[in-house]
Structure 1
């Protein structure tokens, strides 16, 4: 089992990451945080609001890289805590299964998913969150929308890089008519 020290030693500098991003796909996890009612039905979807690298305001899902020697479950928990707060209480199953796999390309139009920095493969999960949440890090807001609101074209227009398409896939996977 890897220790925190092992992971820190394996962490790449910005220069090394740039070099690797230009040569191999990078593994990511994406989480669609949801609130569920007593019957387990999704009644809210959490979306982050951030300022993009170009200075525009964008809605995003929780996402981030998987570290060397890190289990997928642990990567999900780490990114959910980093973006939603330490007491968000995400309910990640012992053996998580993605609802889809998204392949992001640096070249627009190859798929619905675009990341100008790299070719990335993202395992995408729907994760119920039971605790208190608040935007963290560089997030300006965490909005909890109904599935109907989250499926709107207005929300999709606020999401870049294919996050809107992923959100719509998650909602369809949950059985919400679009």
Structure 2
């Protein structure tokens, strides 16, 4: 989308000014995904965590995430953001049912479990196996594959913004990857 505020011809997107105004007035719907590699019996062997520069220029770790566009299904939004962040050859295996492992609610003030300085947002969070080659795209600097234990460590959690370290741990626990 153009930084001049020109509306995107895709009616599912808002101009920068419209998005800022909407964020001040309404909670927005997001999807978040924890990409994982699984073995032959479906147990998580690796977790993919993105490395990004945030708006303030700090390097942080995060999950695949993004807004759901008007008229877009949850499944389509999840696939779009996985492909956008991990590349077209990631080959995600979306769940048969679009039921998330949790619903995370982000607030623009401290003291909340999940925070986002820009907005109040509701995020549907998924653990998604990927079978292909992942090449980070867009604003991701790299994708780091870790064991579930490494990913759930305090040091990695400290590098994640907005409480996403606890979201990552909850996702791993939901699939039995943490003991």
Considering the TM-score relative to the shorter chain, is it more than 0.5?
yes
Aligned to 1:143: 144
1:59-98 residue pairs with structure 2 within 5 A?
A: 59-98=61-100
SS of 2:127's partner is strand
**Count of residue pairs brought into register by the alignment:** 171
CA RMSD of aligned residues (A): 1.2
The worse-fitting range, judged by mean Cα deviation, of 92-101 and 126-135 is 92-101
1:26-65 residue pairs with structure 2 within 5 A?
A: 26-65=28-67
SS of 1:159's partner is coil
Q: Which runs of 5+ in 1 are unaligned?
A: 1-6
Give runs of ≥4 in structure 1 deviating > 4 Å: none
TM-score, normalised to structure 1, is: 0.93
Aligned to 1:3: none
8 Å Cα contact 1:50-1:139 kept in structure 2: yes
Return the alpha-carbon distance in structure 2 between the equivalents of residues 17 and 122 of structure 1.
Answer: 17
Aligned to 2:106: 104
Aligned to 1:168: 169
Return the alpha-carbon distance in structure 1 between the equivalents of residues 139 and 29 of structure 2.
Answer: 22
Aligned to 2:4: none
Return the alpha-carbon distance in structure 2 between the equivalents of residues 50 and 32 of structure 1.
Answer: 15
Q: Which runs of 5+ in 2 are unaligned?
A: 1-8
CA displacement at 1:54 relative to structure 2? 1.5
